[in-house]
A and B are shown apart, each in its own frame.
Chain A
């Protein structure tokens, strides 16, 4: 299990935690943790909303990553647009300029890429629709403004960098959860048994007593 935890920390780019874990548990990280630092900083940039810096640093690291992966590039630009809109709320003075910039941006970078990928076009439409809501947090599009959206974009970029370094992109730990959900679902058709209903607590829930 220590190896699975280490794999999670390393692939998700938590270098500090991985280092501490290596010292505390004696589990080898299996990769050079220094190389992860770059990746982690890029990730942090996205998580803190500085998409522009992230793009710059990815291009420093390996320009082919964004050249080759249109969908990723689209999502980064989408995030940039979201951040511009977010910024537009904070500073009234800059609002107009930024919104204009955001719109121009959508036309220049996002739309052409969306044409190749209809699903991206739909995402684009949702994102641009943010512009029409005065209070986006109360809009049906609030999820885009969520921290989770930043995490999603950051994870996608992180995975792409890992792949470019021929490292695994996906931690193994979620596989365990998927297997559990799958196996319980299959077993539901065959038996009544104590189930794990809540993945965070992992408490076993006894089945209700049989009717007869």
Chain B
């Protein structure tokens, strides 16, 4: 259930049938009370065409009092779609209102409680629905009046405004045309403040302690460094951060150096050497992972064409590359990830197309001979070797980054309001740019 692409409130809805409708003149974002206004039974309210979207973390709109009318009995706030419109917002359950005549805040009953100042002609009221903290807050002429309502649980709330006495008139701004009608309130600041509180609460999350009493971050950093092959730093971290409780395994160092040599060979276009080294480091890999084997052979085929050995290339393609397309993978019978795919067949076609050009690198499939393609193949081979030897592709630290990113994306997609204001990079960013050293 995606909450995206829900329309936002953009105008008052004058088409809702209700007994009070005849008391209001509704024109887009403007409303004027034209009823008799003798007593509370003559009250009339209007709500917007759409509710606040479910995933919206902070919704803000402004209402300017263009005329207080006779007594200024205006109420501004929110209500759900089933609240009767012959009442001021706040008088009925599931509605919330800040009233201009007494400055009181009403929710679900006819008596309010003291909240803010009264408001009248010329004043403008900002309304903030904060879904992260489940609050509604008002501002008057930009001055923050504080939280008016807490524990807001209604899912679908419409901005609403209600009237009671003749000639009361307001004009709202829902922020649908900010270029021509900017908000008067400092919305960026309001958002910033809410975001800061949200970040603070996320950073207040308790992280379980490591069972062994060691530093989780230290271990993650160590694992990352070892995974990246920064052995000296890993050794320093093991010594200084982890107090010598872990150490770099010599076998790991050797394996990684070997993988680095294999990568270098692939990037240099020397596939034979890469294949030979791969057989040494990971016996059985090329037999069980037909896909990576095929990609390497394709690359060898392409590199031979590049070297001008067309005849040998064609012979090699017939004897070594094409048979891989049909041969069953040994071992597990070939899972989807280890067998040759349609995309891989295209790779062979692209490689073969290189034959048609005097300078294969400038042909339409010349990408196969570019460093970027070779690097990608080298990285794929590296991953295949890691998986083959029972190691994970990523360090735990990278896995945590990926999981945090994925979980946050999922929350955003599911319409979680707070998640819309969070991102991983901001939490990981340096607060200030590093100062250039020795700068005057």
Contact = CB atoms under 8 A, between A and B. Distances in A.
Nearest to A201: B396
Contacts of B237: 9, 14, 17
A187 B411 contact: yes
B211 to A, nearest CB: 8
Interface stretch (B92-100, B198-206, B252-260): B198-206
B427 A20 contact: no
Contacts of B204: 178
A182 interface: yes
A151 to B, nearest CB: 8
A200 B398 contact: no
Contacts of B203: 175, 178
A25 B337 CA distance: 32
Contact of B207 (A1, A8, A172, A178): A178
A207 to B, nearest CB: 14
B6 interface: no
Contact of A30 (B205, B220, B231, B434): B434
A4 to B, nearest CB: 5
Given A174-B207, A180-B407, A202 B430 contact: no
Interface stretch (A95-103, A119-127, A188-196): A188-196
A176 B430 contact: no
Given A175-B427, A180-B404, A31 B232 contact: no
Interface string A102-134: 000000000000000000000000000000000
Contact of A28 (B396, B408, B434): B434
A163 interface: no
Contacts of A25: 228, 230, 233
Contacts of A177: 207, 216-217, 400
B114 interface: no
Interface string B208-234: 101001001101110011001011110
A8 B221 contact: yes
Interface string A129-153: 0000000000000000010100000
Nearest to A40: B240
Contacts of B411: 183, 186-187, 190
A90 interface: no
Interface in A1-17: 1, 3-5, 7-9, 12, 14, 16-17
A196 B403 contact: yes
A25 B427 CA distance: 23
Interface in A150-187: 168, 171-187
A191 B410 contact: yes
A32 interface: yes
Nearest to B213: A148
B437 interface: yes
Interface stretch (B187-195, B266-274, B416-424): B416-424
A1 B220 contact: no
Nearest to B397: A1
A90 B396 CA distance: 41
A94 to B, nearest CB: 27
Contacts, number: 147
B370 interface: no
A183 B429 contact: no
B139 interface: no
B59 to A, nearest CB: 20
A141 B156 CA distance: 52
Contacts of A21: 225, 230, 233, 236
Instruction: Indicate the member of A9, A14, A176, A184 with the most B CB atoms within 10 Å.
Output: A176
B145 interface: no
A200 B416 contact: no
A93 interface: no
Contacts of B241: 12, 14, 17
Contacts of B216: 177, 199-200
A181 B206 CA distance: 8
A183 B396 contact: no
A61 interface: no
A186 B233 contact: no
Interface string B307-347: 00000000000000000000000000000000000000000
A199 B206 contact: no
B233 A1 contact: no
B414 interface: yes
A63 to B, nearest CB: 25
A179 B217 contact: no
A68 interface: no
A3 to B, nearest CB: 7
Contact of A202 (B207, B217, B228, B397): B397
Nearest to A174: B217
B410 A202 contact: no
B400 A168 contact: no
13 contacts: A16-B240, A148-B213, A172-B427, A173-B221, A176-B427, A177-B400, A178-B204, A180-B403, A180-B404, A185-B205, A186-B411, A191-B410, A202-B220
Interface of A: 1, 3-5, 7-9, 12, 14, 16-17, 20-21, 23-25, 28-32, 146, 148, 168, 171-187, 190-191, 193, 196, 199-204
- Top 9 A-B pairs ranked by shortest CB distance? A30-B434, A202-B396, A183-B407, A17-B236, A202-B399, A180-B404, A21-B233, A178-B205, A175-B427
